Amino acid sequence: MKRFNYKARDKATGKKIKGSIQADTEQSAGRLLVEQGYIPETIVEEGAANPLIHLKGRIKAKDRITFTRQLATLIGAGLPLAASLHTVVEQTEERGMKEVAEEIIAAVESGKSLYEAFSQHPKIFNGVYLALIKAGEMSGTLDIALKRLADQEEKDAAMMSKIKGALVYPAIIFVVIIAVLAFMMIMVVPQVAQLYADMGEELPAMTKFLVGITDFFGQFWWLIFIIVFGVVGGSIYAVKNTKTGRYVMDNFKLHAPIFGKMFLKLYVSRFARTAEMMLATGVPVIDSITISIDAISNKVVEKEYEKALEMIKSGRPLGESLQGLNYMLPLVYQMSAIGEESGKIDEMLGKAAGVYEGELENQIANISTMIEPILMVVMAGMIGVVIGGTLLPIYSLVNSVSA
């Protein structure tokens, strides 16, 4: 028998308590606490660190998707909810997801709804996830709601993976450009300067410029490193921890050359696809649009779409409310209007999302083709300057000696 330290909440009074309990495993300890009328929050073996504290916030999307799909399959097969959860836990290998699932089981077995159990982990299950769980429970279509969640999360993960993959080749080209320039500046330029000094000739203006840059980097590399590290680190901190930084970055994404239109289609399709899921599962229109706006993950677009939400609350149709918004693409509000007339608004939004998802995939596939000419021009210009300041002076010097 092992001894576990725990923190729990009394099911009857809601009072938080902590103590220790003996059991063979963490799962056994959790079940013992539930039988005693407690809702476990953390259970840690004595002498061990609490893995849940470290892993809760780092659960991978693929683990959450697998968990969701397995749960949907088991519930759809007619297995009771508690039994389905226990079966999924047994099949889950990733430590963090397993711990969260066990907390969900403890909450459900203590009498909470699945929505309430999932709501205890807002950093892992977002508003879209929780809303669909709640709607699925209320309508008796929990398995369908979970399957839609898994399908959508898989699409989102695949899309982001494609975008990151498409950026690998341009990133490699950029690194090569920097490496070539660094080699020429460090190895070639000083030799040219020394050659002119040995022959008592004055350096050409372009070569002087390159020598000055090389000397500056050689003497103040530490200062440059501090500045670059400070700017990059400060920018990352601002984007992750301040509203202003996040807003500036989100605005930049929408207006970045080449990538701006891609990000816009990503946000619009995400909005339409989320709204489709919400409405198809029976979530009311206002709640569906509210959650869909939150799912966009771009503060600039979200702020603009909130104007449509206010119009919907005042009684205006969805299609009319979306029309005229900045950062909204025509097919979404056109299909929304058609859907409102035909009574198939969720289906029409899904079709609009599908169109933009297809266009986005095509653009991602061609991103290297679009960026490569720009990189080639930049590389040619930068290397041309270096060659102009190194090789051409050498030819000039050789000609003057020959004369």
Report which of 100, 102, 118 is spatially closest to residue 56, judged by C-alpha positions.
Answer: 100
Task: Give the lowest-confidence range in 38-42, 316-320, 347-351.
Answer: 38-42
- Report phi then psi at 43, rounded to 5: -135, 120
Flag whether pLDDT at 51 surpasses 60: no
> So what's the pLDDT on residue 401?
59
Pick the residue with more confidence: 189 or 299? Answer: 299
| Secondary structure class of 293 (helix, strand, coil) | helix
Q: What is the DSSP letter of 25?
A: S
Q: Do domains 56-165 and 265-359 have the same CATH topology?
A: yes
The percentage of residues in the chain with a pLDDT greater than 70, rounded to a whole number, is: 92
Strand-pairing partners, residue 17, are: 8
Please write the tens of the pLDDT for every residue from 294-341. 888 899 999 999 999 999 999 999 999 999 899 999 999 999 999 999
The dihedral region occupied by 282, where left means phi > 0, alpha psi between -120 and 50, and beta the remainder, is left
Q: What is the mean pLDDT of the chain?
A: 82
- Helices 243-255 & 205-241, crossing angle to 10 degrees? 120
> So what's the pLDDT on residue 252?
93
Q: What is the DSSP letter of 22?
A: E
Please write the tens of the pLDDT for every residue from 111-137. 888 888 888 888 888 877 888 888 888
Encoded tokens for 399: 């000609």
Residues 131-151: what's their mean pLDDT?
A: 83
Give me the residue spans of the domains in the chain: 2-48, 56-165, 167-241+366-403, 265-359
What CATH homologous superfamily does 56-165 map to?
Type II secretion system (T2SS), domain F (1.20.81.30)
Pick the residue with more confidence: 373 or 346? Answer: 346
Instruction: Give the integer Cα–Cα distance in Å for 71 and 77.
Output: 10
Task: Give the lowest-confidence range in 15-24, 81-90, 112-121, 307-316.
Answer: 15-24
Task: Give the lowest-confidence range in 66-75, 76-85, 203-212.
Answer: 203-212
Residue 242 has a CB neighbour count (10 Å cut-off) of 11
> So what's the pLDDT on residue 322?
92
Report which of 138, 85, 103, 109 is spatially closest to residue 34, judged by C-alpha positions.
Answer: 109
Flag whether pLDDT at 215 surpasses 90: no
Q: In the sheet where 38-45 sits, what is the strand order?
A: 16-23, 2-10, 38-45
Q: Which residue has the tokens 């203590």?
A: 110
> So what's the pLDDT on residue 47?
59
> So what's the pLDDT on residue 27?
65
- pLDDT class of 351 with cuts at 50, 70, 90: very high
Sign of the torsion formed by the C-alpha atoms of 321, 326, 327 and 330: positive
Instruction: Give the integer Cα–Cα distance in Å for 287 and 86.
Output: 31
Query: In this structure, which CATH number among 3.30.70.1520, 1.20.81.30, 1.10.260.40, 1.10.10.10 belongs to the domain 265-359?
Result: 1.20.81.30
Encoded tokens for 48: 């061990």
* pTM metric for this prediction: 0.67
Pick the residue with more confidence: 221 or 286? Answer: 286
38-45/16-23 β-pairing = unpaired
Flag whether pLDDT at 26 surpasses 90: no
